[in-house]
Chains A and B, each alone.
Chain A
C-alpha cells in the first residue's frame, strides 16, 4: 500500500469541490496516459476580474488523483487566472504534504487540467508540452521519456552522465539496469553501441581505490587538513540553509568525518546525495579518501547512522 500523508487521505476520504462547478464557464479535461487516470476541471470565472469564483472536479482515478484534484480546487479558488497559472504541480504536492514518487504524475495532471481550463476560457487551444513515460528512477521520480529525450539531446553514453543530467539513478542505484537498457536502445538508434564499464559508476566514489586517484597532492598537516574540511563544509552550508537544513562538523577521526546534517534535508533522499556529494568534494580537496558519516547531535556521544 502507498505511504500516503494524512493530508492526502483527508482529501481523498472527504474531497472538496467534488462535482461540476455551477454555471461554469471554463472546462479542462486531461488524462494521464501513464496510469489511465483522467480529470475534468470546471471553473466559474468572474468575467471582469478574472477571479476564479468557484471550481469543481470530476476524477476517474486513484486515491492520490482524487486528492490532487481536491487540493487543486482548494488552492485556486479566489485566485485570478494569471495567479492560478503560476501554481505548479509541486505546489499541489506540497499542499498535500507530499506524494509518493510514483504518484507525482497525479499532481502534474492537476496542473494540466488547470492550464486546459484557462485556455478554454480564453478561447485558446491548449496542447500538452510533455509526454510521460514509465517511471524509471523512484528516488527522484524521473520517467523513461525524460531520460530518452535527455540522452538524445546531449548524446549521453553512460549511466553516470544520465545521472548528472537528469538525477535519475543518483539515489539507491537500483534503476541502473533500466537506465543501461534505455541507453542501449537510444544509442542503437544512431548506430552507436552502449558499452557498460566494469563494476559500475557509483561504486568508485566511495571505494578505497578513489584514495589513490588524487595521490599527487601532498599529505596535509592536521591543522591544514582540518581547515580544508571546515572550508568545504562552510561552502555547502548556505545551500543547505536555504532549504531549511544545515551541516555541522562534529568530529574527525582518521579518515572518518562526522557531520550533523539537520533540518529539511534530514532523512530525505537528498540527505544521502548531499552526504555523498560533500564527501566527494572533500576527497577532491583533501587529496585522500575520507568517509563522511551522519551523526545525530547528542550531548556527549556520537551516534552514527550511516556513512
Chain B
C-alpha cells in the first residue's frame, strides 16, 4: 500500500500535466525571454500565456497586474515593504495574530524599526472582530495585511469586506492568499484588494515560484531593482520553467474548482466525522462553518502532536501538527494559542489537508489507524488514567515547570 499524503497545506505534488508543460523549458526552450532572437522570443510568449492563466484564476482585470516572484514570502515582503516605502509618512500596519510567519516575522522586525503594528485578535473559533478592525483604520496606516485563509485551521477571513473598509479609509490592503488560491473562487476585479500573494507549490506547481498581484494604479516600490523584467517591478531573469508550470497549474485549478469544493470537501468531512466519532476527547479547531474545503484541524487532548505524527508516519500517513516540537520553536502553534486552546490540547493538534489527488479509500484507512495511535500515546500520558483523562487532569498532574 502506498503512503497517504494529507499535508497539502504544507506543499503539494507537482501535477504530471504541469511537469510535462515545464520540461521543454529546461532543454530546448532555454532562451532568455528578454532576448530578441527566436530562442528568447518563444520563451517570452510562453510567459505571456502563463501570465494570462494566472490572471484568469485570480479574476484579475489586466495581465500586467501579475508579477512573478520567487515565492509567497517574497510576495508578502514586497507588498508590505512597498506600501511603507511608497507612503513614508504612514508608520502603522494592521495585521492579525494568526498570520503566517512570512508576514508576522517581518512585522515584528518592522516594529524594531519604529513602525507600530496592530495585530487583530481572534475569538475561540479563529474569527476576527471587524469593529476592532474598523477602529484601527486611519490615515496613519500604510497597509493592512490579512491572510485570506489560515494555513493551520483553514478558517477563512472576510478579506473582500475588509478590503472595502480599507479602501474606503484610503488604506492599502494586502492579502496573503497562498492557502486560498486554487481552493476558493476568487475574482479580484470585483474587489478592492490592492495586493495579493500566492505561492505556486500550494497548488500543484513547483516550489520557487510565486506571484504578487498588484491592482493597476496601486502605488508601488520594487523590492528588487535591476533589469526591466516584470515591467521593472521585480528585476531578475524569469524562472521560465516554473512560471510556465504555474500557469498550467492555475488552469488546472480553475478546472477543478468545483471538484475541490465538492469531492475534496466530502473527503475532508468524512475524515473529520470518522475520527471525531472514534476518538474521545478530540475536537475540531477553527471556524468549521467557514473554512477551506480541504483542511481539517483536530485537537487530540492530553497527547503531543509530534508523537502522533511519528506514529502516523510509521504507518504511512503524512500530516502536520501545531505542536511546538515539530517546528523547533518553543511555543505550540501561535494560531492555536490565539484561539485560546489549552496547552494540553494545542500541543496535540493535527492538521489533515487534502488535495484532488487523495481518495476516499485513503480516508477510510486513516480513520482506521488514528484511534489506535491516539490510544497508544494516551497510555503513556500522565494526564490520562485508564479509559479517560485523570480526574481533574490539571490537578492530578501538576509538574514543576522549569
> From DSSP, what is the main secondary structure of chain A's interface residues?
mixed
Contact with B along A57-83 (1 / 0, CB 8 A): 111111111100000000000000000
Q: Is the CB of A38 within 8 A of B397?
A: yes
* CA A200 to CA B384, docked complex, whole Å: 51
Does chain A have a CB within 8 A of B349? no
**Stretch from A11-19, A147-155, A158-166, A231-239 at the B interface:** A11-19
B116 to chain A, nearest CB (A): 19
Q: Which residues A33-92 have CB closer than 8 A to chain B?
A: 33-40, 57-66
Does chain A have a CB within 8 A of B1? no
Contacts A18-B379, A36-B347, A135-B330 given; indicate if A62 touches B400 (C-beta within 8 A): no
Minimum CB distance partner of B325 in chain A: A62
Choose among A1, A36, A64 the residue that contacts B324 (Cβ–Cβ < 8 A): A36
Q: Is the CB of A61 within 8 A of B307?
A: yes
Does chain A have a CB within 8 A of B302? yes
Contacts A34-B330, A35-B325, A134-B330 given; indicate if A60 touches B344 (C-beta within 8 A): yes
Q: Is the CB of A62 within 8 A of B304?
A: yes
Q: Is the CB of A58 within 8 A of B402?
A: no
Chain B residues closer than 8 Å to A112, beta-carbon distance: 400, 402
Contacts A19-B379, A39-B382 given; indicate if A65 touches B304 (C-beta within 8 A): yes
Minimum CB distance partner of A100 in chain B: B328
Choose among B305, B314, B400, B402 the residue that contacts A130 (Cβ–Cβ < 8 A): B402
Q: Is the CB of A59 within 8 A of B401?
A: no
Chain A residues closer than 8 Å to B383, beta-carbon distance: 60
Chain A residues closer than 8 Å to B303, beta-carbon distance: 60
Chain A residues closer than 8 Å to B331, beta-carbon distance: 36
Minimum CB distance partner of B328 in chain A: A102
Contact with A along B305-348 (1 / 0, CB 8 A): 11100110110000000011110111110000000000110010
Q: Is the CB of A30 within 8 A of B324?
A: no
Q: Is the CB of B382 within 8 A of A32?
A: no
Minimum CB distance partner of B346 in chain A: A36
Does chain A have a CB within 8 A of B381? yes
Chain B residues closer than 8 Å to A40, beta-carbon distance: 382, 397, 399
Chain A residues closer than 8 Å to B401, beta-carbon distance: 30-33, 38
Choose among B310, B324, B330, B381 the residue that contacts A60 (Cβ–Cβ < 8 A): B381
Contact with B along A119-160 (1 / 0, CB 8 A): 000000011101110110000000000000000000000000
Q: Is the CB of A18 within 8 A of B400?
A: no
Does chain A have a CB within 8 A of B23? no
For chain A, give the interface size range.
Answer: 35 or more
Chain B residues closer than 8 Å to A59, beta-carbon distance: 380-382
Q: Is the CB of B307 within 8 A of A31?
A: no
Contacts A13-B314, A60-B303, A63-B310 given; indicate if A128 touches B382 (C-beta within 8 A): no
Contacts A35-B324, A36-B343 given; indicate if A12 touches B310 (C-beta within 8 A): yes
Minimum CB distance partner of B377 in chain A: A66
Q: Is the CB of A36 within 8 A of B380?
A: no
Chain B residues closer than 8 Å to A13, beta-carbon distance: 311, 314
Size of chain B's interface in residues, with CB distance under 8 A? 34
Minimum CB distance partner of A34 in chain B: B330
Choose among A12, A60, A130 the residue that contacts B382 (Cβ–Cβ < 8 A): A60
Does chain B have a CB within 8 A of A292? no
Contacts A60-B344, A66-B307 given; indicate if A29 touches B398 (C-beta within 8 A): yes
Q: Is the CB of A32 within 8 A of B304?
A: no
Chain A residues closer than 8 Å to B397, beta-carbon distance: 29, 38, 40, 58, 60
Choose among A29, A62, A132 the residue that contacts B323 (Cβ–Cβ < 8 A): A62
Does chain B have a CB within 8 A of A168? no
Contacts A13-B314, A15-B380, A18-B380 given; indicate if A31 touches B400 (C-beta within 8 A): yes
Chain A residues closer than 8 Å to B304, beta-carbon distance: 36-37, 60-62, 65
* CA A58 to CA B385, docked complex, whole Å: 10
* CA A302 to CA B190, docked complex, whole Å: 66
Contacts A15-B380, A30-B399, A37-B325 given; indicate if A63 touches B306 (C-beta within 8 A): yes
* CA A132 to CA B401, docked complex, whole Å: 10
Chain B residues closer than 8 Å to A103, beta-carbon distance: 325
Minimum CB distance partner of A106 in chain B: B325
Chain B residues closer than 8 Å to A64, beta-carbon distance: 325
* CA A122 to CA B169, docked complex, whole Å: 68
Contacts A36-B324, A37-B304, A62-B325 given; indicate if A30 touches B400 (C-beta within 8 A): yes
* CA A1 to CA B309, docked complex, whole Å: 10
B338 to chain A, nearest CB (A): 16
Q: Is the CB of B380 within 8 A of A66?
A: yes
Q: Which residues B361-402 have CB closer than 8 A to chain A?
A: 379-384, 397-402
* CA A109 to CA B311, docked complex, whole Å: 22
The listed residue with most B CB atoms (<10 A of its CB), out of A15, A36, A103, is A36
Chain B residues closer than 8 Å to A61, beta-carbon distance: 304, 307, 325
Chain A residues closer than 8 Å to B400, beta-carbon distance: 29-31, 112, 116, 126-128
Q: Which residues B262-292 have CB closer than 8 A to chain A?
A: none
* CA A59 to CA B325, docked complex, whole Å: 14
Q: Is the CB of A31 within 8 A of B399?
A: yes
A20 to chain B, nearest CB (A): 9
Q: Is the CB of B310 within 8 A of A36?
A: no
Chain B residues closer than 8 Å to A102, beta-carbon distance: 328
The listed residue with most A CB atoms (<10 A of its CB), out of B311, B326, B331, B399, is B399
* CA A132 to CA B326, docked complex, whole Å: 19
Chain A residues closer than 8 Å to B379, beta-carbon distance: 18-19
B378 to chain A, nearest CB (A): 10
Q: Is the CB of B307 within 8 A of A12?
A: yes
Q: Is the CB of B381 within 8 A of A58?
A: yes
A236 to chain B, nearest CB (A): 34
23 example contacts (A-B, Cβ-Cβ < 8 A) are as follows: A13-B314, A18-B379, A18-B380, A19-B379, A19-B380, A30-B401, A35-B325, A35-B330, A36-B324, A36-B331, A57-B380, A58-B381, A59-B382, A60-B382, A60-B397, A62-B304, A62-B305, A62-B306, A62-B326, A63-B306, A63-B307, A65-B304, A128-B400
Q: Beyond the given A1-B313, A13-B314, A60-B397, could you list 12 further A-B residue pairs with CB under 8 A, ordered by the A residue number?
A: A18-B380, A32-B402, A36-B304, A37-B304, A40-B382, A40-B397, A58-B382, A58-B384, A58-B397, A60-B344, A62-B307, A63-B310
Q: Which residues of A contact B (CB under 8 A)?
A: 1, 12-13, 15, 18-19, 29-40, 57-66, 102-103, 112, 116, 126-128, 130-132, 134-135
Q: Which residues of B contact A (CB under 8 A)?
A: 302-307, 310-311, 313-314, 323-326, 328-332, 343-344, 347, 379-384, 397-402
